[in-house]
């Protein structure tokens, strides 16, 4: 697995071996960092908010992309 920060986005590259064909398939994750404009009293509160924010963001992006399919 390889990681690279490129233009503010985390790129994670990996490959998976297909045991039947002996060929490798690439796997790519491209992420970016968001900084919501709020703060919390505890680390746990901030992390809980971040996880909820991220899942809501992913769900919304999935819904938008799905409307074009």
pLDDT (tens digit per residue) in 13-38: 999 999 999 999 999 988 877 788 89
Distance CA 50, CA 36 (A): 9
Largest CA distance in the chain: 53
What DSSP string describes the chain? -EEEEETTEEEEEEEEE-TTT--EEEEEEEEE----S---SSHHHHHHHHHHHHHHHHHHHHHHHHTT-
State yes or no: pLDDT of 41 exceeds 60: yes
CA dist., res. 29 & res. 42, Å (int): 29
């Amino acid at each position: 697995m390889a990681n690279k920060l490129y233009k503010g986005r985390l790129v994670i590259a990996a490959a998976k071996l297909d045991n039947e064909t002996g060929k490798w398939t690439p796997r790519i994750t491209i992420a970016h960092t968001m900084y919501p404009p709020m703060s919390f009293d505890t680390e746990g509160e901030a992390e809980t908010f971040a996880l909820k924010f991220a899942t809501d963001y992913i769900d919304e992006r999935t819904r938008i992309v799905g409307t074009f399919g």
